Structure 1
Amino acid sequence: MSDLFPGITTHRVASSRYAANVLERPGEGEVVVFIHGNVSSAAFYQPTMLALPREYRALAIDLRGFGASETLPVDATRGLRDFSDDVISVLDALDVERAHVVGWSMGGGVAMQLLLDAPDRVSSLSLEAPVSPYGFGGTHGADGLRNDDDGAGTGGGGANPDFVARLRAGDLTADAPTSPRSVLRSAYVAHPDAQAEHEDVWVRSMLTTSTGEGNYPGDSVPSSNWPGFAAGNRGVLNTMAPQHFDVSGIADAPHRPPILWVHGAGDVIVSDTSLFDLNHLGALGVIPGWPGAEVAPAQPMKQQTRAMLARYAAAGGVVREVEITGAGHAPHLDDAPRFDAELAAHLAAVDVA
């Protein structure tokens, strides 16, 4: 069964870094590049691609180890640069000099890294429920101060082993809270019943995730700090550990394309009270032995993004924040009409001359 929507084509692109699977909604004008999030693939963005005004050419790239792209190990010491460099290599192979870049969740972090490293390639930036500019977990305060030097409680060791096992086994059921389908319903979207038509596509997309220490979730190392482990140097989750990832420098970059930040009010993944932040779970009593907020504070993820974007705006950049009531971690699915309209308005306002 093909999970391609009518109007979407797929291409195998042999870039200088990896063999990439690329979805396309043809168009004659400016290019819009979509970068998917963790435990997903480009397939999630098909409805959004189809909804774009026809004057745009839409491309969605499967990152390494996801979708139908080549599986290569991820060097987490580079933060998300393995992924952002991969995206640039695909654009080079397709002779795309500049593009509007849209990134979801981890893909938002990839998009921010791309802007930091190759600002001349970015016409505009759209961040959908993006990871904090200081990574995922292990920091506190609006300016992303590190809790510990080793990133305790972040990275590969924080993944649920049963969820990883079910990904590896290709579990299509909803028989356990840790099955991919159950996680989609409880954490990705706020209105799972509304996703019934395409839910199987989304679950199969999640199941394309390559598992292992070099991919998802990655390795971990012992830590003397709570909860007893820290991020390693390999694999997907470790790319967003605070000692490896920090893109807050885009606030001071000389090139400032317009930024749209869209997030759902009901997001439980990227949130100031994230149910995937072990320190917040410790405060809730879900994980025993939490040493308290002075030692292991939860990460105010949205506050950190808002503060960084405020600095970006103060330095002359154009920023627009849109919070969608009733949406979860995937606003483009939970409220597609609103998301599509906001994205179209953002793109139309950009002067690419």
Structure 2
Amino acid sequence: MGSIPTLPGLVSTMIETPRLKMHVLLRGPSDGVPVLLIHGNASSSTFWEETMLALPLGYRAIAPDLRGYGDTEDKLIDATRGCMDWVNDLLDLMDVMGYARFHVAGHSLGGSVVWAMLAAAPERILTATVIAPGSPFGFGGTKDIQGTPCAPDFAGSGAGIVNPEFARLIAEGYRGSEFQAAPRNVMNSFYWKPPFRHPREEALLSGVLSEKIGPNKYPGDAVPSPHWPGVAPGKWGPANAISPKYVGDSVQRMLTAPTKPPILWVRGSDDPIVGDMSLFNMGTLGKLGVVPGWPGDEVHPPQPMVGQTRYVLEQYRANGGSFREEVIPDTGHSPHMEKPHIFDPLFHAHLQSV
């Protein structure tokens, strides 16, 4: 059983895999068509509950807590493998559960995991859905739609760009709203578009607070850099795992894979986290004057995250795959939670398309 109470109709369980013991939420018949749901950073499986309950009959919803999050066994994330620790954990989970092929959906960092899975094991995926996904080239430290690094050491990406106050308050289990970096404030200001408040705010906040904090955990280690903003990715933890330094050749592998599952890309029109002017990106913050010493658009512009994703998906299509982009208006970073009446029909139609 997980530590966060769930909505009626969901089963919370622990599943032992060869790599680690995973906490998983389940719904639907065990012989149903499997749908693997991968949560984002500073969140947990609880962020999928309404999506799970809305799935049509005949589907089996599977929402694990990723390594480093929730009630899953606390093991370190080797960031030098990019998202592959998570991919291997999830493929093992599906093996143990007896699912050779499955649908997969990922939100935010979970979308980054989906890109890596499309590169590593596309033959196992029936359809892929990415919701406000991190750029296929990684988060931070790149300057154009082709994913060219701003600096040779990928400065401006990784754990060093995470607000240490946010991580400290998660570690303390802080549920208040007194500080700007309070997890509750970050969730309500950035995960969705204000004034939206989620009816399960307390359970979701518990999900945010479930992230494992500490040396080599979240946010991870960082190294000093001679390049602006003076910090480059280290080797451990989730924030480093999504750095373009380690995402490596996954884009090329995804584009050249013989199997190309259809992709649905859903994003909110007003996403402050993943966008071409992301407020979590050093280039944007430098340009806005928030982070001093910005070297200018030539050297370190705001990362064109949406442009990069579209560029990669258009190549995916040109190489024989297919994708559909859906922009949900007046919506922030979590369209599946803010506008389920729009998201769910799109998602269900995509699942039923194969």
TM-based fold match above 0.5: yes
Preserved contact between residue 164 and residue 211 of structure 1 (Cα < 8 Å): yes
Match of 2:72 in 1: 69
Preserved contact between residue 28 and residue 58 of structure 2 (Cα < 8 Å): no
Residues of 1 paired with 2:107 and 2:196: CA distance?
22
Per-residue CA deviation, residues 286-336 of structure 1 (Å, 9 max, x unaligned), is 111111111112210010000100011111212111000111110011101
Segments of 4+ moved more than 6 angstroms: none
1:23 alignment partner, one of 11, 21, 25: 25
Residues of 2 paired with 1:262 and 1:71: CA distance?
31
Deviation at 1:193, TM superposition (A): 3.8
Match of 1:335 in 2: 339
The letter for the 1-side match of 2:141 is G
What is the TM-score when the length of structure 1 is the normalising length?
Answer: 0.97
Match of 2:174 in 1: 171
Match of 1:220 in 2: 222
> Does the C-alpha gap of structure 1 residues 198 and 18 become closer, same or farther in structure 2, counting only changes over 3 Å?
same
Deviation at 1:11, TM superposition (A): 1.4
The letter for the 2-side match of 1:167 is I
Residues of 2 paired with 1:254 and 1:307: CA distance?
19
Match of 1:99 in 2: 102
Match of 1:262 in 2: 266
Q: Secondary structure at the match of 1:226?
A: coil
Gaps (5+ residues) in structure 2? none
Match of 2:127 in 1: 124
Residues of 1 paired with 2:338 and 2:147: CA distance?
29
The residue correspondences of 1:1-353 to structure 2 (distance < 5 A) are 2-27=4-29, 28-195=31-198, 197-246=199-248, 247-249=250-252, 250-350=254-354
Deviation at 1:93, TM superposition (A): 1.1
Residues of 2 paired with 1:213 and 1:255: CA distance?
39
Residues of 2 paired with 1:191 and 1:96: CA distance?
39
Deviation at 1:146, TM superposition (A): 1.0
Q: Secondary structure at the match of 1:275?
A: coil
Residues of 2 paired with 1:207 and 1:24: CA distance?
22
Residues of 1 paired with 2:323 and 2:4: CA distance?
38
Preserved contact between residue 149 and residue 243 of structure 1 (Cα < 8 Å): no
Residues of 1 paired with 2:185 and 2:290: CA distance?
19
Per-residue CA deviation, residues 74-112 of structure 1 (Å, 9 max, x unaligned), is 111000101111101111111111110000111011111
Per-residue CA deviation, residues 121-176 of structure 1 (Å, 9 max, x unaligned), is 11110000000000001112111111111110111111111111100000111111
Deviation at 1:115, TM superposition (A): 1.6
Residues of 1 paired with 2:196 and 2:325: CA distance?
27
Residues of 2 paired with 1:156 and 1:212: CA distance?
12
The letter for the 2-side match of 1:213 is P
Q: Secondary structure at the match of 1:237?
A: helix
Preserved contact between residue 263 and residue 322 of structure 2 (Cα < 8 Å): yes
Residues of 1 paired with 2:331 and 2:49: CA distance?
18
Deviation at 1:192, TM superposition (A): 4.6
What is the TM-score when the length of structure 2 is the normalising length?
Answer: 0.96
> Does the C-alpha gap of structure 1 residues 173 and 280 become closer, same or farther in structure 2, counting only changes over 3 Å?
same
Deviation at 1:2, TM superposition (A): 4.7
Preserved contact between residue 142 and residue 307 of structure 1 (Cα < 8 Å): yes
Gaps (5+ residues) in structure 1? none
Residues of 1 paired with 2:102 and 2:67: CA distance?
20
Residues of 1 paired with 2:195 and 2:102: CA distance?
32
Residues of 2 paired with 1:84 and 1:192: CA distance?
35
Preserved contact between residue 214 and residue 236 of structure 1 (Cα < 8 Å): no
Alignment root-mean-square deviation, CA: 1.1
Q: Percent identity?
A: 42
Deviation at 1:39, TM superposition (A): 0.6
Preserved contact between residue 190 and residue 333 of structure 2 (Cα < 8 Å): yes
* Worse-matched range after superposition: 319-328 or 185-194: 185-194
Residues of 2 paired with 1:170 and 1:194: CA distance?
20
Preserved contact between residue 4 and residue 207 of structure 2 (Cα < 8 Å): no
